[in-house]
Amino acid sequence: MALSKIRSDSLEDTAIHGNRNLIINGAMQVAQRGTSSTSSGYQTVDRFNVHKSSFGQLAFTQTQVTDAPAGFSNSYKFTTTTAETAVDAAESLGIRTALEGQDLQQLGYGTGSAKKLTLSFYVKSSQTGTFAIYFYSADTVRIITRTYTISSANTWEQKSVTIDGDASGSIDNDANESFQISWCIAAGSNFTSSDSTSWSAYSTANTYFGHAQNAVVTTTNATWQITGVQLEVGEQSTPFEHRSYGDELARCQRYFQIVGNSSYFAGNGVGSASISTGIPLATPMRAEPSVPDTGYAFHRSGNTNSGTNSVTNVTYATIGASNLQLRVNFGSGISDEVAYVLNAITADLQLTAEL
């Protein structure tokens, strides 16, 4: 029996192959920091964060949950626990992900052959209505927006929007943030008053043009969920590209990874106060990571002394292909050039190189 051919009309040449999804962790599988938080920023599902401005009353949780459409195991969920009485003009809140410029060179931005992009995703909310999404090009400070409509409350719906390529704004070929996507949950009038349905210079007024539903944050226990996020070149969405958990974890660890508090590290005494040690990384990180410099206790053992000390501070030098060089300052009690074993016993070391 002859195999039928896949029609490629309106699809990019790469669309039926792997690695077409530009989004990391679009199935919300990885949540290294934990599964629930009441804070904004990167807190739960990797590569997705809450960013907001103002709000005097709002309290919320962001969680990784197992409620998901068929074919998926997890979703990201935003829940309002204390409602805002009303969304003021200067208040906004969105769920955002960001991409590196070097991963987007195939888009041809800044040229006459700039390519269209299609974003598809599954969404579920207790509130129906029209919601906005912005696409922001950070290198040229330009923006374009689209809207989608949630038709049925508490029902998984798949959405798809397409944007034109930006012929006027190029994307830098580096490891820095070049592109953002934000799903608006709430936006005051300061953010919705200027048309941004085509690429234009960013302003506060055109951030979430077209957004018309703020009830998620003005209703106690209201929810908004997302999963199956896919961004691909072309003007037609294709089935979600599922990747293994291990693959997604490694991609996420480029931006954030944890060295567990049961880990042991070999080191050498430096002077009378510090121990220098190398920490192996699960994968090379995007940039030299930040490391919290206090809040840890280490157990040290060596051929002249041992004990447990609260650490005065932790500093870091350079990041290599596979390890991070740390200097742990104990304040005193160290023998110069003596070999030690360090064991972090009170807290994980969290290494962050987020966009």
Torsion sign, CA atoms 204, 228, 161, 140: positive
Helix (H, G, I), strand (E, B) or coil at 64: strand
Q: Which residues contact 294 (CB under 8 A, 6 or more apart)?
A: 311, 312, 313, 314
Q: Can you read off the two tokens belonging to residue 36? A: 């629930």
Rounded to an integer, what distance in angstroms lies between the CA atom of residue 21 and that of residue 43?
23
- The confidence score (pLDDT) of residue 294 equals 63
pLDDT band at 98 (very low <50, low <70, confident <90, very high): very high
Torsion sign, CA atoms 149, 150, 152, 153: negative
Q: Which letter does DSSP use for residue 41 in this model?
A: B
Helices marked H in 164-271 — which ranges? 215-218, 245-253
pLDDT band at 278 (very low <50, low <70, confident <90, very high): confident
pLDDT of residue 301 exceeding 90, the answer is: no
Give the residue-averaged pLDDT of 311-337: 72
pLDDT of residue 53 exceeding 50, the answer is: yes
Q: Can you read off the two tokens belonging to residue 319? A: 């990041």
Number of Cβ within 10 Å of residue 56's Cβ equals 8
* CB contact at 8 A, 85 and 113: no
Rounded to an integer, what distance in angstroms lies between the CA atom of residue 119 and that of residue 106?
16
Rounded to an integer, what distance in angstroms lies between the CA atom of residue 8 and that of residue 186?
38
Helices marked H in 176-289 — which ranges? 215-218, 245-253
pTM: 0.91
Q: Which residues contact 1 (CB under 8 A, 6 or more apart)?
A: none
Amino acid found at 23: I
Amino acid found at 240: F
- The confidence score (pLDDT) of residue 266 equals 85
Question: Please, what's the largest Cα pairwise distance for the chain?
Answer: 78
Amino acid found at 311: V
Amino acid found at 287: A
Q: Which letter does DSSP use for residue 22 in this model?
A: -
Q: Which residues contact 247 (CB under 8 A, 6 or more apart)?
A: none
Rounded to an integer, what distance in angstroms lies between the CA atom of residue 137 and that of residue 129?
27
pLDDT band at 117 (very low <50, low <70, confident <90, very high): very high
* CB contact at 8 A, 202 and 194: no
- The confidence score (pLDDT) of residue 75 equals 99
Percent of the chain whose predicted confidence (pLDDT) is above 90: 69
Q: How far is CA 47 from CA 53, 97, 124, 166, 343, in A?
A: 20, 6, 20, 24, 29
pLDDT tens by residue, 56-95: 999 999 999 999 999 999 999 999 999 999 999 999 999 9
pLDDT tens by residue, 332-349: 888 899 888 887 667 788
* CB contact at 8 A, 240 and 326: no
pLDDT of residue 254 exceeding 70, the answer is: yes
Give the residue-averaged pLDDT of 318-337: 76
Q: Can you read off the two tokens belonging to residue 209? A: 């043009």
- The confidence score (pLDDT) of residue 146 equals 98
The full DSSP string for 71-83 is T-S-EEEEEEEE-
